[in-house]
Structure 1
Amino acid sequence: MFLSRFDSRSKLLVRSLMAGASGAHRALGVFHRQQRANPEMSLSNFMETLCQDEITSPEIGAQPLTAKPLVCLFPVLFKQNLLSFIYLVHSVLPQTSILHLLKCLSQDSHPNPWVTALGRQLERSLGTHNEEPLYTRPCSQRLKELSQRLVGFGETGGWAKCLSGQTVESESLRASGLSELGTQRKRKGSFVTLDSGDEETGHQIKRIKMDGCGGERVDAEEQSTNEVTSGRLERDAPAETPAEEQAAPDSPSHSLPEHIKVSVLQIKELLESQTEWDQSSMDVFKVLNDCDPAQMEVLCSTLSLPALPEQTLPKLCSSVLTLSLDLSYSSAATLIKSLLLEKVLSLSEPASRCLVTAATSLCSQYPRPMCHALVGPVLMEKNIGNPQAELLNRLIEGCLDSHYRLLLLQMTFKIAWSEALLSIIHSLLDSKPDLNEEVFTQFTEQLVSQGPQFTKSVKFAKMMLTVLTKYSSHVTAAHKHSLSGCLLLNETFLKKSLQAALKRITHT
């Protein structure tokens, strides 16, 4: 309802910030695209509009009309995304505009603790020395109460004592479970059977330990723990349990809960089928949202995802991307590594359309896991060739925002450069990541140290030319001196162009 207050560029940012938990990241992508289209654009109009007073409808017990900054009238999720977005781009914003916005947010009649904490963190980043803690007073009080419940509060090893104290308590729980078990056996003549596996047992015991620290017990959890104990004893009792049930299964899927095991079988059947997938078939992938990182590894191994045919990848990735909830970072990284890493490293010719489609779709949705699970490991590989470099360049140019490109560029500082890697570094520089003085200095040190092995490399010369033209404003007198020595070794036809570009750089 407030979109009409904003200009066309700002409307896109507002819509992005309203788009769920990933709103800040989406807004950052919109902002970078707008910057590429118009390098002179700024966020001043956007910030000013958010700070304009807006006449609001009357509240119960208030005056008939009140005026509040427009930003206060947006939902809490928008405010959280807004402050996260500003935190990411605050280096290109005037500090006065940010402080004015924070002052407007402080006029909110119903402040949200998360919004308040994000605002204080932003103030600290701006150097305004806000000494107030990020948590609220009620939160502080609850933390103190929790700390005081710990054994040895105020001493070293408080947590360790608390947890070690639970060992005795856990044994007593097991004993009580055994006692109850004996009573049930006399009454019913059989053990209580339990379908859950060892992993669920671990979760239940962990929950009991955590509750012990808080001094609380829930009857339902006590009963559940006793049932787990009964199930474990039943599996260990030779007289009551068949021999084949005592042996640990060889399959890695043994550690998965039953409902995930069922879904794994359905997914496996789906991956092996030659028919088109309908919506009901794709719904089976919702089980991925139920997996923790360890379970995701087992699931990927059970499905043999590294050996999956490439023509199946687009359908599988499409199903993953339509999940109602985004996967966690760890789960997404595990899935990406299983699906793509082996295939990309083994490329001996340009990547197939199916592999490119799968990689770009996952990179667009999960850029950070993609950087750490696929792009980073490929960069670290010593023997990558042009097929790998070509695929990574497509991801860099089409899917990754500036801060991810900067992350990848910094990764190259830690490895030996090769001809294939030079084209990736050149692509990263062409995309103009936000280089600060420290990072640019590290990069020039790499250029100077790695340069002697590329004296006849045209790729290295072209990369140097990009540095001297697109990043001339970053070059200091010290950089210029180092780079001039590096250029003296160059033996390509671009040597004169490089020296002329370096000579044109002046310092005031």
Structure 2
Amino acid sequence: MDSGVFLGRFDGQSKLLVRSLLSGVAGPLRALAVFNKQQRASEMSLSNFIETLCQDEITCRDTETQPLTVQPLVCLFPAFFKQNLLSFIHLVQPLLPQTTLLQLLKCLGQDRHPSPWVTALVRQLERNMGVHNEEPLYTPLCSQRLKEQLQRLVGCGGTGGWTKCGQTVESESQRSSGLSELGTQRKRKGSFASLDSDGEETRQQSKRTKMDVGGSECLVAEEQSLKEEISGRLESDAPAEAPTKELQPAPDGPCDALPEHIKVSVLQIKELLESQTEWDQSSMDVFKVLCDCDPGQVEVLCSMLSLPDLPEQTLPKVCSSILAPSLDISYSTAATLIRSLLLEKVLSLSEPASRCLVTAVTSLCTHCPRPMCHALIGPVLEDKNIGNPQAELLNRLIEGCLDPHYRLLVLQMTFKIAWSEAVLSIIHSLLDSKPDLSEELFTQFTEQLVSQGPHFTKSVKFAKMMLTVLTKYSSHVTAAHKHSLSGCQMLNETFLKKPLQAALKRITHS
């Protein structure tokens, strides 16, 4: 039955909500915009709207021989309306009395042909309200298909591939001892080679693209596989206790976990950092010890040197030594050094970064972009207290140090976090650099844009970012994207609302 025949059951304000929820994928956002306007004008309550949906309606079956039946009005609407309705309720749940909402969910439970999506949204709302619904959000059929798919993957993978994803992660001591034995062999294979060399950068470009765009998970999987291979060699070629003894710290402190020649170098570096004299080539050579350290030893070394507390004026000299041509540090070593040297300083910024800090950050980002993205840029984006000083520094790195490949990686990082005004300026900077977005990535971005939109209805930064999407990426916008973005644009309350409407109208192709 056509949903339009039921509109007469609703009052004037509720009719607008029903029409919004019947408007397609943008229905929840359209309904939210309508509700906000109505509430500002007359303090509208949703109780009447919900009560009307819960009223019993007499319906007939498919054949004349079947008797008349009674169902709640909400059950007679199409599945996409119910899905939009529940998505809208998720947005306004704090404004609804729990008894009213429970009544609606009870009515939806009488649906003779429930949609899996509607069922999942109902159960999620029940959990949000504290109603202990222990049933899973997925259907039994979905569960069965997942089990069958997993069995196929395990059957095809043997002892490698996907099977390794389910194995227990080995202990820290095994990981450290395995990488310690790897030494220069790791560098020859190039699995964690530094990105400093132009020749190596060219040879690894294809591999890096697959690893970085997908995030750090690929790197972890490759590293885990390599560690297991080395761990197996150690178990067959050396006494079982040897790796544990080598890395087990003595009661006296972490320094005892280091070999003697590394302890000597630590003392030399410490003396160098505390001296006021200029560094010459021999001074920089003491940092070569980093090439002999495994990841666990680098952590100990950074702790002993108190690198997070290093004065900012010393940072450029340290970075120059780390990036010297004579050093070929691994990915894990570079990431550990970046975290120790820079992360705490960047996170604690309350004003624009000093010249020394900017110099250090840009030099490391230029020569080691991949570890920089994962060890500094990612954690800064995820920090809840990120502000303008951090955003300004990251924008400088995006514009001056990162290649398009890494800008794309940073943009993907923003898909997994809650946006703030500072994050918006970083995303805007990324979009201005015009990264080459695939259809899939652009869809992911627009989904994030639409989901975050209700939190930034009065944000000029958000409006400018959206305007950039509609102008610079108009060729990426499909009919489905345009529909979603139109709903997001309706929520905007800034002076850019009309330019956004005009930009949307200019996109005529599907």
Category of TM-score, reference length = shorter chain: 0.5 to 0.7
Give the conservation status (yes or no) of the 8 Å contact 1:409–1:428. Answer: yes
Of 288, 291, 299, 2:290 maps to 288
> In 2, distance between residues paired with 1:303 and 1:87?
35
Give the conservation status (yes or no) of the 8 Å contact 1:199–1:255. Answer: no
Provide TM-score, normalisation by structure 2.
0.54
Which amino acid letter does the alignment assign opposite residue 325 of structure 1?
A: L
Provide TM-score, normalisation by structure 1.
0.55
> In 1, distance between residues paired with 2:194 and 2:302?
29
- C-alpha displacement at 1:324, in angstroms? 1.5
Give the conservation status (yes or no) of the 8 Å contact 1:24–1:85. Answer: no
1:425 aligns with 2:420: no
> In 2, distance between residues paired with 1:454 and 1:418?
9
Matched residue of 2:276: which SS?
coil
- C-alpha displacement at 1:160, in angstroms? 12
Give the conservation status (yes or no) of the 8 Å contact 1:305–1:338. Answer: yes
RMSD of equivalent CA atoms:
3.3
Partner of 2:272: 270
Partner of 1:473: 475
1:328 aligns with 2:330: yes
Which amino acid letter does the alignment assign opposite residue 282 of structure 2?
A: S
Of 346, 350, 369, 1:367 maps to 369
Matched residue of 1:275: which SS?
coil
Q: In structure 2, do the counterparts of structure 1 residues 26 and 474 end up closer, same or farther at CA, with 3 Å as the change threshold?
A: farther
- C-alpha displacement at 1:346, in angstroms? 0.5
Which amino acid letter does the alignment assign opposite residue 271 of structure 1?
A: L
Q: In structure 2, do the counterparts of structure 1 residues 163 and 249 end up closer, same or farther at CA, with 3 Å as the change threshold?
A: closer
Which amino acid letter does the alignment assign opposite residue 304 of structure 1?
A: S
Partner of 1:404: 406
Q: Deviations over 1:148-180 (max 9, x none)?
A: xxxxxxxxxxx999998x69x959xx9xxxxxx
Partner of 2:318: 316
> In 2, distance between residues paired with 1:161 and 1:294?
19
> In 1, distance between residues paired with 2:363 and 2:434?
23
Q: In structure 2, do the counterparts of structure 1 residues 83 and 270 end up closer, same or farther at CA, with 3 Å as the change threshold?
A: closer
- C-alpha displacement at 1:250, in angstroms? 2.5
Q: In structure 2, do the counterparts of structure 1 residues 424 and 260 end up closer, same or farther at CA, with 3 Å as the change threshold?
A: same
> In 1, distance between residues paired with 2:372 and 2:414?
16
Q: Deviations over 1:296-340 (max 9, x none)?
A: 000000000000000100011011111413211101000000000
Give the conservation status (yes or no) of the 8 Å contact 2:196–2:368. Answer: no
Matched residue of 1:350: which SS?
coil
Partner of 1:254: 256
Partner of 2:354: 352
Give the conservation status (yes or no) of the 8 Å contact 1:379–1:421. Answer: yes
Q: In structure 2, do the counterparts of structure 1 residues 268 and 23 end up closer, same or farther at CA, with 3 Å as the change threshold?
A: closer
> In 1, distance between residues paired with 2:493 and 2:339?
40
> In 2, distance between residues paired with 1:262 and 1:320?
18
> In 1, distance between residues paired with 2:312 and 2:410?
26
1:387 aligns with 2:398: no
Give the conservation status (yes or no) of the 8 Å contact 1:333–1:373. Answer: yes
User: 1:292-311 to 2 correspondence within 5 Å?
Assistant: 292-311=294-313
Q: In structure 2, do the counterparts of structure 1 residues 23 and 372 end up closer, same or farther at CA, with 3 Å as the change threshold?
A: closer
> In 1, distance between residues paired with 2:403 and 2:374?
15
Q: Deviations over 1:420-463 (max 9, x none)?
A: 11001111111111211111101101111101111111100110
1:438 aligns with 2:452: no
> In 1, distance between residues paired with 2:385 and 2:444?
24
Which amino acid letter does the alignment assign opposite residue 456 of structure 2?
A: F
> In 2, distance between residues paired with 1:255 and 1:498?
61
Partner of 2:453: 451
> In 1, distance between residues paired with 2:411 and 2:312?
29
User: 1:109-148 to 2 correspondence within 5 Å?
Assistant: none
Q: In structure 2, do the counterparts of structure 1 residues 160 and 385 end up closer, same or farther at CA, with 3 Å as the change threshold?
A: closer
Q: In structure 2, do the counterparts of structure 1 residues 467 and 296 end up closer, same or farther at CA, with 3 Å as the change threshold?
A: same
Which amino acid letter does the alignment assign opposite residue 379 of structure 1?
A: L
- C-alpha displacement at 1:410, in angstroms? 1.0
Matched residue of 2:419: which SS?
coil
Which amino acid letter does the alignment assign opposite residue 332 of structure 1?
A: A
- C-alpha displacement at 1:289, in angstroms? 1.0
> In 2, distance between residues paired with 1:309 and 1:88?
34
- C-alpha displacement at 1:383, in angstroms? 1.2
Partner of 2:464: 462
> In 2, distance between residues paired with 1:334 and 1:296?
7
Which amino acid letter does the alignment assign opposite residue 407 of structure 2?
A: R
- C-alpha displacement at 1:87, in angstroms? 7.1
Q: Of the two structures, which has the highest relative contact order with CA contacts closer than 8 Å and spacing of 6 or more?
A: 2
Partner of 1:177: none
Runs of 5+ unmatched residues, structure 2: 1-189, 211-229
Partner of 1:503: 505
Give the conservation status (yes or no) of the 8 Å contact 2:287–2:322. Answer: yes
> In 1, distance between residues paired with 2:246 and 2:197?
38
- C-alpha displacement at 1:507, in angstroms? 1.1
Matched residue of 1:322: which SS?
coil
**Aligned residue-pair number:** 301
Q: Deviations over 1:42-61 (max 9, x none)?
A: xxxxxxxxxxxxxxxxxxxx
Q: In structure 2, do the counterparts of structure 1 residues 441 and 298 end up closer, same or farther at CA, with 3 Å as the change threshold?
A: same
Q: Deviations over 1:83-134 (max 9, x none)?
A: 65467799xxxxxxxxxxxxxxxxxxxxxxxxxxxxxxxxxxxxxxxxxxxx
Partner of 1:415: 417
Quote the sequence identity (%).
76
Q: Deviations over 1:263-294 (max 9, x none)?
A: 00000000001111111111111111111111
> In 2, distance between residues paired with 1:376 and 1:450?
19
Give the conservation status (yes or no) of the 8 Å contact 1:24–1:82. Answer: no
- C-alpha displacement at 1:248, in angstroms? 3.3
Q: In structure 2, do the counterparts of structure 1 residues 415 and 362 end up closer, same or farther at CA, with 3 Å as the change threshold?
A: same
Give the conservation status (yes or no) of the 8 Å contact 1:314–1:357. Answer: yes
Q: In structure 2, do the counterparts of structure 1 residues 447 and 363 end up closer, same or farther at CA, with 3 Å as the change threshold?
A: same
Matched residue of 2:255: which SS?
helix
Which amino acid letter does the alignment assign opposite residue 342 of structure 1?
A: E
Partner of 1:155: none
Give the conservation status (yes or no) of the 8 Å contact 1:317–1:361. Answer: yes
Give the conservation status (yes or no) of the 8 Å contact 1:422–1:463. Answer: yes
Q: Deviations over 1:24-49 (max 9, x none)?
A: 9877xxxxxxxxxxxxxxxxxxxxxx
